[in-house]
């Protein structure tokens, strides 16, 4: 699979010679690949910018060169699809938003990682994959199981989480103290707190609410704890279930008691509202913790407390962010695997924390629990993270934006009864699934 051009080979030879001169030849799993240049495509986001230093350390230690093509994350997908659908792609490592993994695998663009994990010469025995937060691993890396995007006997691992995240609750300690409020642990308590804040004239909880995937993301955060799902096991949409309607009602409550303009908030605006003191509560990615400490973004540093994502009928927080894997058309797959392993093993994860990135391992979080106030919360939250909090199927795009994104806008911008809105959305969702052939087997069985 691996092919070194003459330049690389020459470099490898030179490197080997240098090592030979330096002293007795040590067993070195990286040696074979020294001089290779790996090209990474990943987003220009804080976690990844922080990782660039770790890449330099990698090159120093292994002699494998690394080039980074960092793009704005919305541009990432088109670019990666283009490269990966070529005969020979530029990229040796790509980082994807978890949502895209199903599509990438369905189109045959990624290499399964099993072939490397079975290669004793490559895999580090101390890697300890079980230490990686399960929900992160499932959500970002596994494709092909029961539902296609979750683990199962038919599933396989295509990537490792890197820059993954879950949701926690952030609140303004000063406001809570002033109002004599207790930190909510359940949705009922949360709703009560929001009402109380609303009555006191304090904008309660910020949220994403802009038409399209943003408002859907806001709603999904509440759907899982309330026991709702998008589909049942037969791919029938259930977004008009009592749980889903309850989550929508809650969303409306958020908008009514929250800061002005939630209807227009994307992720940036929603976060800004909290960071600039215009909201007392924030329920979304744990990244809010790092942002609240950044003086360029935040005016509330020091007043922010963190708590678990409140529970309703169950505990369930979001899983999202990024994972990294290897394109099927990469020319340097083994070296690429070595780099991915380097970034995600215990040492790498620890270095990421030190550099300001987000950890993916239980051990790292526990070892650093004193470092940041949110770490103990995250450690406790991770077992609740729900890898199935949204379906990662190609049709999700259309459902997310066209169906739910529209219906939920209606929920938060009107006073219309919610059940009919969600019923209508459910019908549309069903029509899309029908169009895409999800019910063919059921119809076939019924017919026979």
Partner 1 sequence: MANPSAPPATVSIRPLSPYFFILPAVAIMVAGLVYPVLQAFYLSLFDWKIGTRFEDAPFVGTRHFVRMLTDDNVHESIWVTLRFGFWTITIEMFLGVSLALLLEKPIRGASVFRTIFILPLMISPVVVGLIWRYLFDARIGWINYYLGMVGIEPQVWLGDPELAFFAIVFTDIWQWTPFIFIIVIAGLQALPSEILEASRIDGANWWQHILFVKLPMIRSILLIALLLRLIDVFRALEVMYILTGGGPGRATELLSLHIYNRAFETQQLGYASAISVLLILIVFGLSFAILVAGNPMKEKSDI
Give the SS3 label for residue 330.
coil
**Interface with partner 1, residue 273, by CB under 8 A:** yes
**Interface with partner 1, residue 384, by CB under 8 A:** no
Pick 32 or 213: Cβ nearer partner 1: 213
Pick 114 or 276: Cβ nearer partner 1: 276
Give the SS3 label for residue 140.
helix
Tokens standing for 184? Answer: 């909510």
Pick 181 or 403: Cβ nearer partner 1: 403
Among the listed residues 18, 20, 82, 200, the single contact to partner 1 using CB under 8 A: 82
**In whole angstroms, what is the distance from residue 220 CA to residue 388 CA?**
11
**Interface with partner 1, residue 85, by CB under 8 A:** yes
Query: At its nearest, how many Å lie between partner 1 and the CB of residue 433?
Result: 14
**In whole angstroms, what is the distance from residue 144 CA to residue 114 CA?**
14
C-alpha dihedral sign at 72, 77, 82, 84:
positive
**Interface with partner 1, residue 278, by CB under 8 A:** yes
The per-residue DSSP string of 397-431 comes to: HHIIIIIIHHHHHHHHH--S-HHHHHHHHHHHHHH
User: Which one of 9-17, 42-50, 76-84, 298-306 is the stretch in contact with partner 1 (CB under 8 A)?
Assistant: 76-84
Query: At its nearest, how many Å lie between partner 1 and the CB of residue 269?
Result: 8
Pick 88 or 370: Cβ nearer partner 1: 88
Q: According to the 3-state scheme, what is the secondary structure of 64-98?
A: CEEEEEEECHHHHHHHHHHHHCCCCCCCCEEEEEH
**Interface with partner 1, residue 299, by CB under 8 A:** no
Query: At its nearest, how many Å lie between partner 1 and the CB of residue 156?
Result: 20
**In whole angstroms, what is the distance from residue 94 CA to residue 80 CA?**
7
**Interface with partner 1, residue 254, by CB under 8 A:** no
Query: At its nearest, how many Å lie between partner 1 and the CB of residue 413?
Result: 5
**Interface with partner 1, residue 256, by CB under 8 A:** no
Binding to partner 1 in span 49-68, by CB under 8 A? none
**Interface with partner 1, residue 424, by CB under 8 A:** no
Alpha-carbon Rg for the chain, nearest whole angstrom, is 23
Query: CA angle 236-237-242, nearest 5°?
Result: 120
**In whole angstroms, what is the distance from residue 268 CA to residue 144 CA?**
33
Query: At its nearest, how many Å lie between partner 1 and the CB of residue 123?
Result: 30
Return residues touching partner 1 (CB under 8 A).
Answer: 78, 81-82, 84-85, 103-104, 107, 109, 209-213, 259-264, 269, 273, 276, 278, 394, 397-398, 401-402, 406, 409-410, 413
């Amino acid at each position: 699979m691996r092919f070194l051009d003459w330049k690389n080979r020459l470099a490898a030879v030179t490197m080997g010679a240098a090592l030979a001169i330096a002293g007795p030849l040590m067993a070195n799993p990286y040696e074979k690949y020294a001089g290779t240049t790996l090209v990474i495509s990943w987003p220009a986001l804080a976690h990844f910018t922080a990782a660039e230093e770790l890449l330099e350390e990698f090159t120093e230690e292994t002699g494998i060169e690394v080039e980074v093509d960092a793009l704005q994350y919305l541009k990432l997908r088109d670019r990666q699809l283009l490269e990966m659908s070529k005969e020979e792609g530029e990229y040796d490592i790509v980082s994807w938003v978890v949502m895209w993994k199903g599509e990438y695998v369905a189109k045959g663009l990624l290499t399964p990682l099993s072939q490397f994990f079975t290669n004793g010469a490559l895999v580090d025995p101390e890697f300890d994959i079980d230490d990686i937060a399960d929900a992160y691993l499932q959500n970002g890396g596994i494709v092909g199981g029961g539902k296609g995007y979750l683990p199962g006997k038919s599933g396989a691992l295509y990537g490792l989480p890197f820059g993954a995240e879950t949701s926690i609750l952030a609140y303004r300690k000063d406001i809570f103290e002033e109002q004599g409020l207790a930190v909510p642990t359940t949705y009922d308590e949360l709703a009560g707190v929001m009402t109380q804040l609303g009555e006191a004239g304090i904008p309660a909880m910020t949220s994403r609410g802009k038409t399209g995937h943003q408002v859907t993301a806001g709603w999904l955060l509440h759907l899982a704890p309330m026991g709702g799902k998008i589909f049942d096991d037969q791919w029938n949409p259930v977004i008009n279930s009592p749980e889903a309607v309850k989550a929508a009602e809650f969303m409306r409550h958020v908008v009514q008691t929250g800061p002005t303009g939630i209807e227009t908030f994307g992720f940036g605006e929603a976060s800004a509202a909290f960071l600039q003191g215009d909201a007392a509560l924030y329920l979304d990615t744990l990244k809010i913790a790092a942002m609240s400490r950044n003086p360029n973004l935040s005016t509330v540093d020091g007043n922010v407390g963190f708590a678990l994502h409140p529970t309703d009928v169950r505990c369930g927080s979001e899983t999202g962010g990024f994972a990294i894997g290897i394109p099927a058309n990469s020319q340097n797959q083994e070296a690429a695997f070595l780099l991915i392993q380097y970034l995600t093993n215990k040492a790498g994860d620890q270095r990421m924390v030190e550099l300001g990135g987000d950890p993916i391992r239980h051990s790292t979080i526990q070892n650093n629990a004193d470092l940041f106030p949110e770490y103990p919360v995250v450690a406790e939250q991770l077992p609740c993270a729900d890898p199935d909090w949204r379906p990662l199927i190609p049709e999700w795009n259309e459902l997310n934006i066209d169906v739910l994104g529209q219906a939920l806008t209606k929920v938060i911008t009107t006073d219309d009864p919610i059940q009919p809105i969600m019923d209508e959305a459910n019908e549309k969702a069903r029509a899309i699934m029908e169009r895409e052939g999800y019910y063919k087997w059921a119809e076939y069985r019924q017919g026979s």
